[in-house]
Amino acid sequence: MRVNHVPKIYLTPGNAQHIGSREEQQDAFYFSDFFDAQSIQDNGILAVLADGMGGHDMGKTAASIAIETFVDSYQLSNIQDSVPGRLAKAIDAANQAVAKLGLEVNVDTGCTLIASVVKEGLLYWVGTGDSRIYLWCQGRLVRITSDFTFARNLEKLVAEQYISEEEAMINDQRHYLYSYIGVRDNFRFDVCQKPIFLKQGYKLLLCSDGLFGTLSEAEIAEEMSALPQQAADKLLDKTLRKNIQHQDNVTILIIGC
């Protein structure tokens, strides 16, 4: 009998974070233990990023609660279940926890959340809001998550010829979020059902909008060839050197194969 073995993937992390010009750091992130063999076997390598919504109260608290709830839910879920199923349950639990917080203190609060799992050489992900996950390989940067902004709906209206591209571009609500962690009704998220097989040289980038809102995707791709920690440091430095007036919180997580 022939047994097909999954090739061993060695992963290396990098991260960088800065408050920008804001009064408070409302981004939060989490990496699981890259050296815990049992955890890796059961859960894979988990990376999570949440960005507290600056226009809402208690954004920092919302991001922290979302991360903690998501991680606990995922790691305590049945390891016999599928990874996408476990991710879906975890993001739903995070949403319920933050929505409950808002009700208890009577404030409108929320955050974005993206998470990735690399397990047995396969990449899975889940997300809501407008933080992003990218995959980089051989100089090419590919976004694998979609923003939950009204721009997404406007693009559909353009495709269906209800409005023109120009009308979509000048719509002043195109950057508004319609789903995020903390939504009490009609919560939506994307979860991958078909994982990506990772190969040597691939890099995974999770980032808040403080990065891609300042740097273009081409500018980001230019720095991704470096080792993960060096790439994260270079991206942060490049962002801050733009010296824009209202620089948002910046959080960068990179996992290299």
Which pLDDT tens digit goes with each residue over 1-16? 444 455 567 899 999 9
Half-sphere exposure of 43 (CA within 13 A, CB side): 25
Question: pTM of the full predicted structure?
Answer: 0.90
Query: Do residues 252 and 235 lie in contact, with contact meaning Cβ atoms separated by under 8 Å?
Result: yes
Residue-level length of the chain: 257
Distance CA(30)–CA(69), nearest Å, equals 12
SS3 169: helix
Query: Do residues 46 and 31 lie in contact, with contact meaning Cβ atoms separated by under 8 Å?
Result: yes
Structure tokens at 114: 């993206």
Q: What share of the chain is helix, strand, coil (3-state, %, to 5)?
A: 35, 25, 40
pLDDT for residue 48 is more than 70: yes
Residue 154 has a pLDDT of: 61
Phi, psi of 16 (to 5 degrees): -150, 150
DSSP conformational letter for 149: B
Identify the weakest region by mean pLDDT among 2-6, 135-139, 167-171: 2-6
Q: Which residues, other chains included, contact 214 with Cβ-Cβ below 8 Å and sequence gap of 6+?
A: 239, 242, 244, 247, 248, 250
Confidence of residue 18 (pLDDT cuts 50, 70, 90): very high
Mean pLDDT, all residues of the chain: 90
Which pLDDT tens digit goes with each residue over 193-248? 899 999 999 999 999 999 999 999 999 999 999 999 999 999 999 999 999 989 99
Residue 165 has a pLDDT of: 63
Residue 177 has a pLDDT of: 83
Nearest partner of 40 among 88, 92, 83, judged by Cα: 83
Which pLDDT tens digit goes with each residue over 60-111? 999 999 999 999 999 999 999 999 999 999 999 999 999 999 999 888 899 9
Residue 188 has a pLDDT of: 94
Residue 108 has a pLDDT of: 84
Which pLDDT tens digit goes with each residue over 32-42? 999 999 999 99
Residue 251 has a pLDDT of: 98
SS3 126: strand
pLDDT for residue 44 is more than 80: yes
Q: Residue written as tokens 């080792």?
A: 227
